[in-house]
Structure formats: structure tokens, C-alpha cells
Amino acid sequence: MARKYSYEFKKYLVTVIENGIMSASELSRCCKIHKGVICNIYNRYKHSGESSLHHSFTRNEYSRDFKLNVLTYKASNNLSYEQTALYFNIPSASVIYDWNKFCSKFIGDNMSDKNIPNSKKSKHSNSTDIKLTKSDDSEEVRQLKERISELEKELYYKSAENAYLKKLEALMQSKEQRVQQKKHK
């Protein structure tokens, strides 16, 4: 169970780090708190200011759409789990990691940038690549190539979302069938 720290204690940790009195590692040993917790408090302070020190997280329930939006945003902006958690004000980066891991079971790949197709790696790249000579290379062609790449990424995400929703629906139907079977017994 997560411990809740007071505003004053969080402010103390931030002040000590900012003034260079101790590093996060030294504070970790001194206060007997995991270094990751201290770094998380400090990073939230740097990202959101002093108001983040007042905020205490509670257990949140996130919708399926929100989770997919978070994973899509993380992948499309090439962010780490920590950066994504800060951006969406999610208490722990491990929450996003767990969502990604769960999705990867049903989609087959995790939603990282290395798995996002672009026009050069796409299965359909032969049909979408435009062969140019140096004299034909123009702004319009460059924009078309970018648009094709964007559409391929969007298709990838929609396919991933579709696979996730199908699996979720199958799981829900399975659960309903078990409930029905228990009622008939």
C-alpha cells in the first residue's frame, strides 16, 4: 500500500534537492524512502509546480478509451512511461506500463515507436512510395509523403484498438456465459 506524505515533507525533499544539500540517493538513505519515490515527487514538482505537493492520489478507474489515448500519445510522441504519467497526471508510470503489457497480450506487440509502421517499413510501402528525381522533389511531394506516413500510423493504431476491443468483448461474453451457467446450476 502506498504511503502518503505530507505537504511539508514533500516540500522539504524538493528544497533539499533544489538547494543541492543532498542528492535523491542520499535523501533516500537518510529518510529510508525509495529513491524512485523521491524522484517522482521532485519530477512532479518540476512539471506541475508547488500544487503537485498538495495533491494526494487516490485509486482511479480509467476508461478503456482513456487508456488507449494514453498509450497512443506515449507512442506517437516517443515519451517514456514517466513522462507520459506526468503529462496525464497519472500517479505512477507503472500503471501505464501495465496497460501497455495488457494490450500487448491481445495485440501481439507493445505500442512502442519501434513497432509503428512508417512509409518505409509498411507492408504497402511499394504502392505508396513515390519515385522522384532530384528535379521533381518539391514541398508538395514531401507533404504527401508525410500524410501517407501519418495515415499508416493512424491505421496501425485503429487496428490495435480494434483488436483490443474485440478481445475485450470476447472476455465480457465469456464472463457473461459463466454467470449464466452459475445461475442455471
Segments making up each domain of the chain, as ranges: 7-54, 60-185
Asked if residue 3 has pLDDT above 80, the reply is no
How many other CB atoms are found less than 10 A from the CB of residue 16?
19
Q: Which amino acid is at 138?
A: S
**Residue 125: pLDDT band by 50, 70, 90 thresholds?**
very low
Q: Please tell me the pTM assigned to this model.
A: 0.42
Contact (CB, 8 A) for 52 and 45: yes
- Model pLDDT for residues 62-115, shown as the tens digit of each residue: 888 888 889 888 888 888 888 888 888 787 788 888 888 887 776 655 454 444
Pull the grid cell for residue 19. Answer: 538547494
Q: Between helices 81-88 and 93-107, what is the axis angle to 10°?
A: 110
pLDDT in tens, 13-30: 888 888 888 888 888 888
Q: In whole angstroms, what is the distance from residue 38 CA to residue 17 CA?
A: 10
